[in-house]
Amino acid sequence: MKNLRIAHIAEAAIWLSLALLLFVNSFDFNQEIEIYKYGASAWPRALLLLIVVAAIGQLFGQWLRGESQGSEMLGKASDDGAELAAELSDHNNPKWLLWTFLIMTIPFFYMNVPGIVGDLLSLEKAGLNHVKLLTATVLLGIFLLAIRGNHIGGMLTLPLLFGAFLQDFGFYFTAPFFILGTMYLMGERRWKNMVMIGALIMGIMLALFVSLLYVGLPTGIISPFYEFGTSIVNLLQ
Amino acid sequence: MDTLTNFINGTIALFGDPLGILIFLGGVIGGMLFGAIPGVSMLTLAAILLPFTAHLSPEHGIMLFSVIYCTGVYGGAITAILFNIPGAPENAPTAFDGYPMTQKGQAGKAVGAAVTCSAIGGTVSAVIMMIATAPIAGWAISAFGPPEIFALVFFGLAVASSVGAKTFWKGWLSILLGLLIAVVGLDPVGGIERWDFGMPYLLAGIHFIPTILGFFAVSEVFVQVEKKARGSYSAPKVSVDFPSLAELFAQKIAVIRSIVIGFFCGILPGIGATLAAFMGYNEAVRWSKDSKEFGTGKMEGVVSSETANNAATGAAMIPLLALGLPGGALTAMMVAVFQMHDMEPGPLVFLNSADLVWVVFSAMFFANLSILLIGFLETKTIINLLRIPFQFLAPLILLLATIGAYAVRGLPIDIVVMFIAGIVGFFLRRSGYSVAGIVLGLILGKIGEQTFAQAMQMLHFEWSGFFSRPIAITLIIAGMLTLLNSIYSSFFKKST
């Protein structure tokens, strides 16, 4: 095995699987173009080939020399501390990674489950909204339980969850929770400060983007969140 | 003489327009602050501002970014010197001698040297940029066709992969990932859908703005969350002293050497200003007779690193404006600004929008000069800003990024794409990959494929046709040699 570690093999496996998946998918658009004999798939496939070469090259380099390949100065110049932070916090272990990835799937459930349930039960809009509300509540509960002891996983997922809820529940309702949640996950526990600074941030956002620049942020779709969002917009504009 | 006239006209255009002045000042101060505050960088600011530049004129948009570039690479020097916390990677080597100077009670002098040398390095670089860019662009207009542009993109990516990340393979894989992302959507020749996985959103391709915001603003927040260790800083009392003329004159060799190194690093695609600072510092140590004194508080260390990183800024604009080739993350974002206004950077910009170019050049010149003035005024403010805990800054950055991503097209899915890019960026960064490389690949991917297709059609699909075009073949061979050398070094060369 020389200098090779499991992480190196996993890294190469990820690149190679990505290349394989995309290669298989490239048959979908493997069409000829009249004026261009290489067609639509030549360029992407050339890139995939290069990825395979680079992934194997990297693995070979790691086998030969471990992490010490490349110049020390380039290593220092391109170091942003992210690797060291991961190492120090012991977040490279498979258990943590698996846990974190599972947490990160929660928002995707919200993006897909209500639609599927709605189709199955042939629900109208009002019924679908109820399913969305219920799904959101359940997933939020699971999220809060799952991030106990894994605040980084929570921090990675919270923005995605915010993004997933945004369209249905609106920016104006979800953003304050997002602000407070971010502060909490980053270790802030002084509630008074959190509320005061959260209100300040929200105030700046609303004054700048809604009152001044007229950016139309999502008001939400589901009642009563929609009414809440539009009333704030009406108040500010 | 032409250059001088153009410069004067550019200056009048810049300062004769109240909105221009406002944007200029905003860029100068914003760049400096974001450069200085640990945990955010000028790239965070640039990414957050990127979507909103759609509402500015291209002139103002590019000018804003170039000003942020100049003051952003200086901003982190103050915190590097006073607290041993470089605000941004460009200033990391400044801390090697800057902080020991603070410990010896010479903080004022160190900050003064950093301010002065940043301004000198940047201004000289801006002047060379003004003189050199137009002739190169003029030559490129007649000499560059699709084969040459493709060859240039290839050469640029080859160099960027070699000097853009921790190892050559990680640099190259980062760029290839960016190139792959650029493939998603319609192909540039026949309009055939590629890798859309049946999702209508992917038909139009993955938009570069949510991606850039995710990679630079969001992933930065995530990395900071993992770093966590962000205590409060005890601010030493500091007054800024100008180094005396005699002291400055004694550093002349270091300044000149760093300008040359910085300029060279800036012109090459890769990690520009950061590499410049490290190389400037390294060469200073190598040339010095008393190299053992470095790291103990030697002013030459601060001078070498700060001159070099600012000298890289003007140089980086030459390939961007004269040839359309961005070399790093910030210049890649400038390409995005051009694209949002349906413009392509490159030699034609000189013909079609000479005003824009000269406003940008003047702005960069004055931004570097303003480091002198604002650098002295701002130092104390920056020390106070360090007291803002990151947990209060993080939601602000994330919300600004959210609004920015949404404002581009009004699609909530863009926000989700941005956060996914942030997560991907976070995991790639902690494995040593370069998000700047991905963005460079993303921005250059479309241009690369398009010019490759045009070149092959032009050459009737005869690859040998490249040999009849000296510039194209030279660039391709140079790119190949760079790649081969990097591959060889990654396997067999001892670490240096």
For chain B, domain boundaries: 2-491
Q: Is A152 on the interface with B (CB under 8 A)?
A: yes
pLDDT-based confidence at residue B477 (cuts at 50, 70, 90): very high
| Beta pairing partners, B185 | B194
Q: Identify whether A85 is part of a domain.
A: no
pLDDT of residue B273: 85
**Terminal alpha carbon distance of chain B:** 45
Partner-chain contact A77 B452, CB within 8 Å: no
Indicate if A164 and A210 belong to the same structural domain. Answer: yes
Q: Identify whether A83 is part of a domain.
A: no
Indicate if A195 and A112 belong to the same structural domain. Answer: yes
Q: What is the mean pLDDT of residues B431-460?
A: 91
Indicate if A62 and A174 belong to the same structural domain. Answer: no
Which of the two residues, A91 and A23, has the higher pLDDT score? A23
Domain extent, residue A192, equals: 102-236
pLDDT of residue B229: 43
Q: What is the mean pLDDT of residues B65-84?
A: 88
Indicate if A115 and A217 belong to the same structural domain. Answer: yes
**Total count of domains within chain A:** 2
Q: Identify whether A218 is part of a domain.
A: yes
Of the residues A50, A69, A88, the one at which a domain ends:
A69
Which of the two residues, A35 and B230, has the higher pLDDT score? A35
Indicate if A60 and A114 belong to the same structural domain. Answer: no
Q: Identify whether A157 is part of a domain.
A: yes
pLDDT-based confidence at residue B230 (cuts at 50, 70, 90): very low
A188-204 residue pLDDT tens:
899 999 999 999 999 99
Whether the pLDDT of residue B197 is over 70: the answer is yes
Indicate if A108 and A63 belong to the same structural domain. Answer: no
Q: Identify whether A76 is part of a domain.
A: no
Q: Identify whether A84 is part of a domain.
A: no
Query: Measured between alpha carbons, how far is B395 from A208 in angstroms, rounded to an integer?
Result: 16
Of the residues A49, A69, A89, the one at which a domain ends:
A69
pLDDT of residue A195: 96
Which of the two residues, B372 and B473, has the higher pLDDT score? B473
Amino acid at B384: N
Query: Measured between alpha carbons, how far is B254 from B236 in angstroms, rounded to an integer?
Result: 28
User: Considering CB atoms only, which of A75, A164, A183 is closest to B392?
Assistant: A183
Partner-chain contact B489 A44, CB within 8 Å: no
Q: Where is average pLDDT lowest: B237-241, B414-418, B463-467?
A: B237-241
Q: In B, which residues are within 8 Å of A78 by CB distance?
A: 89, 164-166, 271, 274, 432, 434
Q: Is A159 on the interface with B (CB under 8 A)?
A: yes
pLDDT of residue A223: 87
Q: What is the mean pLDDT of residues B126-155?
A: 91
Q: What is the mean pLDDT of residues A85-103?
A: 84
Q: Taking a C-beta distance cutoff of 8 angstroms, is the pair B332, B440 a contact?
A: yes
pLDDT of residue A168: 93
For chain A positions 45-74, those within 8 Å of chain B (CB to CB) are 47-48, 50-51, 54-55, 57-58, 60-61, 64-65, 68-74
Q: Identify whether A139 is part of a domain.
A: yes
pLDDT-based confidence at residue B352 (cuts at 50, 70, 90): confident
How does DSSP classify residue B51? G
Indicate if A132 and A210 belong to the same structural domain. Answer: yes
In DSSP notation, B195-263 reads: S-TT-HHHHT---HHHHHHIIIIIHHHHHHHHH----PPPPPP----PPPHHHHHHTHHHHHHHHHHHH
Q: Where is average pLDDT lowest: A155-159, B314-318, B345-349, B387-391?
A: B387-391
pLDDT above 90 coverage of chain A, percent: 62
Mean pLDDT of all residues belonging to chain A = 90
Q: What is the mean pLDDT of residues A81-110?
A: 86
pLDDT of residue B446: 87
Partner-chain contact B426 A82, CB within 8 Å: yes
Q: What is the 3-state secondary structure (H, E, C) of chain A?
A: CCCCCHHHHHHHHHHHHHHHHHHHHHHHHCCCECCECCCCCHHHHHHHHHHHHHHHHHHHHHHHHHHHCCCHHHHHHCCCCHHHHHHHCCCCCHHHHHHHHHHHCHHHHHHHHHHHHHHHCCCCHHHHHHHHHHHHHHHHHHHHHHCCCCHHHHHHHHHHHHHHHHHHHCHHHHHHHHHHHHHHHCCCCCHHHHHHHHHHHHHHHHHHHHHHCCCCCCCCCCCCHHHHHHHHHHHHC
Which of the two residues, A25 and B107, has the higher pLDDT score? A25
Q: Identify whether A75 is part of a domain.
A: no
pLDDT of residue B7: 93
Q: What is the mean pLDDT of residues B403-424?
A: 92
Indicate if A120 and A45 belong to the same structural domain. Answer: no
Indicate if A124 and A216 belong to the same structural domain. Answer: yes
Q: Where is average pLDDT lowest: A157-166, B62-71, B98-107?
A: B98-107
User: Considering CB atoms only, which of B183, B461, B490 is closest to A43?
Assistant: B183
Q: In A, which residues are within 8 Å of B394 by CB distance?
A: 182-183, 186
Partner-chain contact B420 A160, CB within 8 Å: yes
Indicate if A113 and A50 belong to the same structural domain. Answer: no
Q: Where is average pLDDT lowest: B34-48, B131-145, B228-242?
A: B228-242
Which residue of B lies nearest to A50 if distances are taken between CA atoms?
Answer: B176
Q: Is A212 on the interface with B (CB under 8 A)?
A: no
pLDDT of residue A145: 95
Of the residues A53, A69, A85, the one at which a domain ends:
A69
Partner-chain contact B277 A83, CB within 8 Å: no
pLDDT above 70 coverage of chain A, percent: 98
Quote the ipTM score: 0.94
A17-76 residue pLDDT tens:
999 999 999 998 888 888 888 888 999 999 999 999 999 999 998 888 877 666 777 777
For chain A positions 74-93, those within 8 Å of chain B (CB to CB) are 74-83, 85-86, 89, 91-92
Which residue of A lies nearest to B170 if distances are taken between CA atoms?
Answer: A58
